[in-house]
Amino acid sequence: MNSCPCLELETLRRYALARSLFAPTTLPQALARLGFVQADPLRAPARAQDLILYQRVRHYRAGQLEQHYPRLAVAEDFFVNYGFVVPQLQALMHPRQPRKVWSAEHAALAQEVLAHVQHAGSAHPKDVDAALQHGRVSNWFGGSSRLSTELLDALHYRGALRVVRRDAGTRVYAPAPPWPGVAEPQQAMDQLLDAVVALYAPLTRRSLGQLLSHLGGGAPQWEHLRSATLKRALQRLPSAEVAGQQWFWPVGEAPRALARRWRGAQRVRLLAPFDPVVWDRQRFELFWGWAYRFEAYTPAAQRQRGHYALPLLWGEEVIGWGNLRVQDGRLHAQLGYVSGQAPRTPGYAAALQQELAGMAVFLGATSIATC
């Protein structure tokens, strides 16, 4: 283990902000730098992937990732969660071997779906369903869905299909090219974990283990390598004990030097619930002293902060949250604060209005209302 003494929690917090909220760049460059952008279907006020990219891409507008997707070096796939992953990481996870083994009947139906897509070149789920008429099945959340749609998703997860575009938000599939596979699974797992650390660092030992567990969804065939991968990471990644936790970050990075690059002191940002800065809830609470929870699936009467509360970053402090929606071309912003009131710090009100104005442009709204 490479130890780096004499770090403070405040330094790690600025380091986390500086390395993740880098200077806005182009969409291809931001995707390459992040390596993975988590996706979420909820649009409140925009999908998670768009909210994440808004903070990192110059002049970004909601929906541009989907619009430009066919021409970008990125693929929809599972990594630590479902989202958009760069090809070099995707190649490390395929051919993927799922934990669930199909029955002979299910495998035969899947082969029918794959053959249809191969013959068509690309296919929308409704066209596959109309052609094969596989009917409906119960899904995991208690409703029902088309069997052909589930088989398309499963074939995509297994690497037999790829997403070539979306039509009104629905994935359109085409045959995937053959996967060469990887020569050294342990080396591939090390590289995948390094990508996780590069995206979410600095990480506590507990969070490192949790994210490695999430990687089991991206590369289930190597789940047996999880403990060895964690052991190797603990030995080779630089680390320091701070605030009673052992923290880890990528090889070659200097947290104190990068922390000094943080230039967000006079800026407000509304972050996505799945933004890399926010994703690690344990770290969030250590850095900012309060627990953020994603409440979109919490019954309305039990919500404390709102359906899709966006953490509100002011300088290097997350001081509250905002619930945004666009109605009749107007951006409505309902804000809440941990202290119970907005800060009176000089510059805050202007910085907030600047962020809301940027959000309005990003969402295509023409005016702003706050409460």
pLDDT tens sequence across 247-274: 999 999 999 999 999 988 789 999 999 9
Of 159, 175, 191, which residue is a domain's last?
175
Question: Residue 136: its pLDDT value, please?
Answer: 72
Greater model confidence, 6 or 219:
219
Residue 171 has what pLDDT? 96
Report the pLDDT averaged over residues 196-205. Answer: 98
Residue 191 has pLDDT above 80, yes or no: yes
Final residue of a structural domain among 175, 203, 226: 175
Provide mean pLDDT across the span 334-357. 95
Task: Tell me the mean pLDDT in the region 109-125.
Answer: 95
Cα 201 off chain centre by: 14
Q: In this structure, is residue 24 part of a structural domain? A: no
- Provide the pLDDT for residue 278: 97
What DSSP line would sit under 134-188, residue for residue? Answer: --EEE-TTSSEEEHHHHHHHHHHHTTSEEEEEEETTEEEEEEPPPP---S-HHHH
- Domain-located, residue 284: yes
pLDDT for 255: 97
Is 336 inside a domain boundary?
yes
Rounded to an integer, what distance in angstroms lies between the CA atom of residue 248 and that of residue 232?
13
- Taking only Cα atoms into account, the Rg of the chain, rounded to an integer number of angstroms, comes to 22
Burial class (CB in 10 A: 0-12, 13-18, 19+), 246: middle
The residue whose two tokens read 């997403």 is: 163
In a domain, 29, yes or no: no
We report the CATH number of the domain holding residue 108 as 1.10.10
Residue 33 lies in a domain: no
What is the rounded average pLDDT of the residues 189-209?
97
Count CA atoms within 13 Å of residue 142 on its CB side.
Answer: 0
Structure tokens at 24: 């806005």
Which CATH number does the domain housing residue 361 bear?
A: 3.40.630
Q: What is the rounded average pLDDT of the residues 115-120?
A: 96
Instruction: Note whether residue 185 is domain-resident.
Output: no
Grade residue 138 by pLDDT with cuts at 50, 70 and 90.
low
Total of domains in the chain: 2
pLDDT exceeds cutoff 70 at 275: yes
Structure confidence by residue, pLDDT tens digits, 54-113? 999 999 999 999 999 999 999 999 999 999 999 999 999 999 999 888 999 989 999 999
Residue 140 clears pLDDT 60, i.e. is over it: no
Q: Is residue 165 part of a domain?
A: yes
Q: What is the pTM of this model?
A: 0.94
Question: Has residue 193 got a pLDDT over 60?
Answer: yes
Which residues share a beta bridge with 313?
269, 318
Mean pLDDT for the stretch of residues 234-258 = 97
Domain boundary among 155, 175, 195: 175
- The answer to whether residues 295 and 304 touch, using CB atoms and an 8 Å cutoff, is yes
- 298-341 pLDDT per residue, tens: 999 999 999 999 999 999 999 999 999 999 999 999 999 999 99
Q: How crowded is residue 178: how many other Cβ atoms within 10 Å of its Cβ?
A: 9
> Does the pLDDT of residue 226 top 70, yes or no?
yes
Domain with 146, as residue range(s), is: 104-175
The answer to whether residue 239 is domain-embedded is no
